[in-house]
Structure 1
Amino acid sequence: MTDITLIRPSLDWLPFYARALEQGWSPNTDQDVSREQLLQFRRDPKRFLHDLYNSPMVRLPDGREVARLPAHDFWISDGEFCGRIGFRFQRGTEDMPTAIYGHIGYTIVPWKQRRGYATQALA
């Protein structure tokens, strides 16, 4: 099994993230946001990276906007960009809002799936 590394999202890795979007990967498992994110990336890569993880609101699949939860977000690499994983939390409680499906969210690019990368990221 190939070892993976968790990387903080950065401008250095952003072109690899964008390439995954171009190849049809979406970081959102509920809806395909690849085209929307590519447009934002091409307009202003630095702003895109900032807004990706620092925007105060997040749009849900049903169109509602809710406050973004605190999270620790990482990109997964085996030497190449493989996907993302995020650990969400609410300060002061173990409970999650009903709009959130769980404490951990991840997605692996299709061409790197079934290699145990998400399992390794959780270890």
Structure 2
Amino acid sequence: MSIELKIIAEGTTTNQTEGTIHLRGSVKNNGDKSVAVWPAQLNIRLEDHEGRPVPIRVEEVEKTEDRTLPPDERWEFALTLRASHIKLGLPYRLTAWWQGLGEPDTSAFRFRQVDPGP
């Protein structure tokens, strides 16, 4: 089974200690058989600029249903994550993968300050 995973992560913070990560991704089945993917089973790792793990938790999954991808089909998904102990202005790396289904993909980003909503 071979899938191609592509991700883009963007980070924001209102208090400079906890951040929100908006993760958008797409997955394409490059194999010759259908493959099932589950958004809830996507492995995600966030690292700081020194390669240390940063605690994260999934806050929202835009598409929660399991998806069976026929060969050559692409599917898009989105997740909202919360990260604690962040530092504004430093680079972070988010890596995502489905165990046993292909290579991980990585997105580099920096948290940016935003105004808290009303």
TM-score normalised to the size of structure 2? 0.30
Q: By percentage of residues, which structure has more strand?
A: 2
TM-score normalised to the size of structure 1? 0.29
Greater RCO, 1 or 2 (C-alpha within 8 Å, sep 6+): 2
